[in-house]
């Protein structure tokens, strides 16, 4: 085993520049090494790097390679706070018997440097896993697993088959990464096409997986570029003022790594923001620059200014800002008379045209007005913008909507809520639909309507109400959905539709369907979606009592590079995540809390918020938590559900609900974990039912085929494996 240690020292600045002469470097300081430019505050000799601090000292060896520390080769230095260096590859190779014959891994001490978010931890190999871990002030581990028994076909993405990747972006004191085989490697199988497995850190976009070449020897690549973030000290810009930055056309900005700050040139300037005069930030002459070009149509009219430019027209001409070109000024009585005549004739023609087409144009104008008021422009802009795929949404007319609802007759109203009124509609082809008329009052509600169109247009899931189209040319916008004919879950639990049909089996299945849908929205949709208003009134049931999640008016799309959003708090009391309510920070754990309340309603048939209960138990979460603590859970569970065969399942479901409703979001499980646990309860129930119906040897055969027994093959799928996976995920998510 070979072990290499790479020490990256901390980078920090002080409030003085003792080695600079009038804000400039000495003329004898080296400015390049090979093809790498040496940028201050770094340097190669005393007096040329910041404050003569060895943390900023670089070495140019006899091979014209620029080194940081003892052996870290620098690729380039960015003024904005990034240091690009070469990073070696860890590997484990195997002999023809499948044993490790050569192993190489690396340990890094990062000190005050941070790995940039633009890096990936990558594993190349089959039947292998790579682990990146750290110890010190905090323990942290991440990695990925690649399992395959044959070469992946052709060139492909690094998607887990022969290659996998993991994001690495946390402040670390030190890191170690290594790779290991996943179980025993048969000499005649994987080793034939993958004799070594590799693990490495690499800057995004610098490694593209090629199965036919990389599984053999990684194309003999021994190192990859890695980005490291550096900054000045540990103070913010507000704390240090402009004593360092801002002295020469430069400004201060807080470092992206969470500590310290950096400098940058103002817009219209370029150069080194840590120096002054001709070595610092200099004005860009856009009139002659080939990179920062002006937009004057005639280059002779371009005039450079300090930090910008303008287009100057000669006497008698004016600048047309739309074309950035000069045009002659028009003056004189003849011009005025001609313009007046043309204007008068134009007015006569316009009046005549308006009189003839008044009714038609009034209708068009009114529809256009409603279209803009209802967010039509916003919808078109977002559909064509990044992060939202074009949706195939049918556009219905105002007349068609009136006909289908019989003039919005009150008898056609299916329900009313905070987001609007829902009507039953019959289209010309006799298909029945649900038409939602939004309740508008300000721009935020228009945005909610457009948001619902965007969200639903991207969801294709059997347990989500399908959006058929919309109508924007009415005074208030309309959404057209598929018709779900059996009411809401709230109606079945607390309203007139309550009946014996909602058995324990039905309620458990409904809970699994809701959890699976939310897990899909959080993890499998093209853009992660947070519903933000999960409640029983927003869960519809069809004729088979299949759950359909509805009402996405308050939902939010989460960009891929963000884990949470700061938004105005929205939701329904009783279901609202207390952490989101207090901080305004929205993430997928807010939906987990709301689902936990819905699960409690399914178990207890009690409303989420009931002022008839005692003061400390008005909220259902407190009500059930108190019952569990006092060992009287049977008093709060709906007595119609309890029998001698399902009490353990009910207790487990209650525990899942309590985990979902923990006060701190980090302590709640992910929806994927919740769905797996609830599905595990259904598998358990199926297993028990089969055991009752098929006793003896026949039962053992059924269990052996479909459900993992304690002595069975660990590669089979079934309840035990699901339970184990769910348990592991929940523990990891706390």
Active site residues: 533
Residue in the structure block whose two tokens are 């049977």: 634
CA 599 – CA 610 distance, rounded (Å): 16
Is there a contact between 192 and 239 (Cβ–Cβ < 8 Å)? no
Looking only at the bridges linking them, the beta strands covering 556-557 and 529-530 are antiparallel
Report residue 304: phi and psi, to 5°. Answer: -80, 140
> 120, 166 in Cβ contact below 8 A?
yes
Taking each helix axis as running N to C, give the angle between helix 588-604 and helix 671-693, from 0 to 180 degrees, rounded to the nearest 10: 30
Three-state DSSP class for residue 301 = helix
How many whole angstroms from its chain centre is CA 620? 31
Pairing of strands 100-109, 2-7: parallel
Helix (H) or strand (E) segment spanning residue 414:
strand 413-417
Let me know if 639 is exposed, middle or buried by CB neighbors in 10 A (0-12, 13-18, 19+).
exposed
| Helix 504-523, helix 647-660: angle, nearest 10 | 30
The CA distance from 491 to 478, in Å, is 24
Beta-strand runs (E) in 648-713: none
Task: Pick the closest to residue 659 from 520, 515, 552 (CA basis).
Answer: 515
Choose among 116, 109, 209, 83: nearest CA to 154: 209
* CA–CA dist 190, 173 (Å, integer): 36
Q: Is there a contact between 4 and 104 (Cβ–Cβ < 8 Å)?
A: yes
Q: At what angle do helices 697-706 and 671-693 cross, to 10 degrees?
A: 160
Q: How far is 194 from 412, CA to CA, in rounded Å?
A: 66
3-state secondary structure 312-341: CCCCCEEEECCCCEEEECCCCHHHHHHHHH
Q: Cα separations (Å) of 564 from 521, 528, 535, 560, 586? A: 15, 11, 21, 10, 5
Q: Can you point out the beta strands (E) in 70-167?
A: 72-78, 82-88, 90-94, 100-109, 114-115, 119-124, 128-134, 140-146, 163-167
> CA 158 to CA 207: how far, in whole Å?
10
**125 — phi, psi (to 5°)?**
150, 165
- Spatial neighbors of 550 by CB under 8 A, at least 6 apart, are 464, 465, 481, 484, 538, 539, 540
| Cα 60 from Cα 34, distance rounded (Å) | 8
Query: Which tokens go with 473?
Result: 């040319």
Sign of the alpha-carbon dihedral angle for 326, 328, 330, 332: positive
User: Sheet holding 467-471: strands in order across?
Assistant: 394-395, 467-471, 478-482, 432-438, 420-426, 413-417
Ranges assigned E (strand) in 472-602: 478-482, 529-530, 539-541, 547-549, 556-557, 565-566, 585-586
Q: Which ranges in 190-251 belong to alpha helices (H)?
A: 211-217, 237-240
Is residue 67 classed as helix, strand or coil in its secondary structure?
A: strand
CB atoms inside a 10 Å sphere around CB 391: 15
The interaxial angle of helices 719-733 and 671-693, nearest 10 deg, is 160
């Amino acid at each position: 085993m070979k072990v290499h240690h790479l020490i990256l020292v901390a980078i920090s600045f002080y409030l003085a520049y003792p080695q600079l002469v009038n804000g400039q470097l000495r003329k004898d300081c080296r400015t390049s090494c090979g093809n790498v430019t040496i940028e201050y505050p770094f340097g190669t000799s005393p007096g040329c790097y910041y404050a003569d601090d060895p943390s900023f000292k670089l070495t140019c060896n006899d091979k014209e390679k620029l080194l940081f520390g003892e052996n870290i080769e620098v690729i380039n230095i960015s003024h904005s706070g990034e240091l690009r260096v070469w990073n070696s590859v860890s590997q484990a190779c195997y002999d023809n018997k499948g044993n490790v014959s050569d192993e190489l891994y690396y340990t890094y001490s990062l000190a005050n440097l941070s790995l940039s978010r633009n890096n990936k931890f990558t594993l190349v190999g089959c039947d292998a896993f790579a682990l990146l871990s750290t110890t010190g002030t905090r323990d942290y581990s991440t990695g990925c697993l690649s399992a395959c028994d044959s070469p992946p076909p052709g060139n492909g993405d690094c998607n887990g088959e022969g290659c996998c990747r993991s994001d690495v972006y946390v402040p670390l004191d030190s890191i170690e990464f290594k790779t290991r085989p996943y179980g025993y490697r048969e000499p005649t199988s994987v080793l034939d096409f993958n004799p070594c497995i590799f693990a490495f850190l690499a800057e995004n976009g610098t490694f593209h997986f090629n199965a036919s070449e990389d599984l053999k020897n990684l194309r003999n690549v021994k190192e990859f570029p890695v980005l490291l973030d550096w900054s000045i000290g540990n103070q913010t810009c507000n704390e240090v003022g402009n004593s360092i930055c801002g002295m020469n056309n430069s400004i201060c900005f807080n470092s992206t790594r969470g500590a310290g700050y950096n400098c940058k040139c103002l817009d219209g300037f370029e150069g080194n923001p840590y120096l002054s005069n001709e070595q610092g930030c200099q004005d860009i002459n856009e009139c002659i620059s080939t990179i920062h070009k002006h937009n004057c149509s005639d280059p002779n009219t371009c005039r450079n200014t300090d930090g910008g430019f303008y287009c100057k027209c000669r006497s008698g001409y004016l600048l047309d800002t739309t074309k950035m070109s000069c045009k002659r000024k028009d003056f004189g009585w003849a011009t005025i008379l001609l313009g007046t005549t043309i204007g008068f004739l134009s007015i006569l023609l316009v009046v005549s045209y308006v009189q003839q087409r008044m009714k038609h144009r009034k209708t068009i104008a009114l529809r256009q007005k409603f279209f803009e008021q209802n967010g039509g422009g916003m919808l078109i802009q977002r559909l064509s913008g990044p992060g939202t795929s074009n949706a195939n949404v049918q556009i219905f007319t105002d007349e068609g909507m009136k006909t289908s609802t019989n003039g919005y007759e009150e008898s056609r109203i299916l329900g009313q809520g905070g987001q609007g009124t829902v009507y039953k509609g019959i289209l010309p082809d006799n298909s029945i639909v649900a038409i939602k008329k939004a309740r508008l009052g300000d721009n935020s509600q228009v945005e909610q309507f457009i948001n619902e169109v965007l969200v639903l247009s991207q969801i294709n899931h059997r347990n989500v109400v399908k959006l058929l189209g919309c109508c924007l040319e009415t005074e208030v916008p309309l959404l057209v959905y598929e018709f779900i004919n059996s009411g809401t879950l709230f109606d079945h639990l607390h309203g007139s539709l309550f009946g014996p049909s909602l058995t324990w089996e039905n309620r458990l299945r409904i809970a699994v369907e809701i959890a699976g849908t939310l897990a899909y929205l959080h993890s499998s949709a093209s853009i992660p979606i947070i519903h933000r208003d999960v409640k029983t009134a927003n869960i519809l049931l069809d004729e088979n009592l299949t759950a359909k999640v509805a009402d996405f008016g308050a939902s939010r799309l989460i960009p891929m590079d963000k884990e949470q959003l700061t938004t105005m708090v929205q939701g329904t009391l009783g279901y609202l995540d207390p952490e989101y309510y207090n901080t305004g920070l929205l993430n997928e754990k807010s939906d987990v809390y709301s689902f936990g309340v819905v699960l409690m309603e399914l178990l207890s048939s009690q409303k989420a918020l009931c002022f008839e209960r005692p003061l400390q138990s008005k909220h259902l979460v407190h009500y059930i938590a108190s019952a569990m603590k006092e060992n009287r859970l049977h008093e709060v569970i709906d007595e119609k559900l309890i029998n001698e065969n399902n009490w353990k399942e009910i207790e487990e479901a209650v525990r899942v609900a309590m985990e979902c409703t923990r006060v701190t979001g980090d302590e709640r499980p992910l929806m994927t974990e919740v769905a797996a646990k609830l599905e595990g309860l259904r598998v358990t129930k199926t297993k028990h039912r089969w055991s009752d119906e098929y006793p003896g040897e026949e039962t053992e055969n059924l269990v052996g085929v479909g459900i993992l027994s304690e002595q069975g093959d660990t590669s089979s799928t079934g309840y035990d494996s699901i339970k184990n996976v769910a348990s592991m995920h929940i523990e990891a998510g706390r």
